[in-house]
Amino acid sequence: MRTRVIHSFDLVEWADVVFVMEKVHRKRLNKTLKSGLRNKKFVVLGIADRYGYMDPALV
């Protein structure tokens, strides 16, 4: 099970810079919020999700 932060056009419109963990997250935002992303700066942090839900290493 994965938890996602709910994003909306309003949140993206409000932000000066949009930070995402992986390139795939940026692609998802591009797909769902195309018109709101025209002049936005993106920073892809390049942090892969290596852990599963409730992984003992994280709990």
**DSSP characters over the chain:** --------HHHHHH-SEEEESSHHHHHHHHHH-GGGGTT-EEEE--------TT-TTT-
Whether 3 is in a domain gets the answer no
The answer to whether residue 57 is domain-embedded is: no
Q: Does residue 53 fall inside a structural domain?
A: no
- At 45 the pLDDT is 94
- The answer to the question of residue 25 being in a domain is yes
Residue 38 belongs to some domain of the structure: yes
Model pLDDT, residue 29: 84
Would 2 be classed as within a structural domain? no
Q: Give the chain's domain count.
A: 1
Per-residue pLDDT of the chain in tens (59 residues, 90 and over written 9): 455 666 677 888 888 898 988 998 888 888 887 776 778 899 999 988 888 888 888 77
- Domain hosting 16: range is 9-44
- pLDDT given at position 4: 61
| Residue 59 placed within a domain | no
Q: Does the residue 21 lie in any domain? A: yes
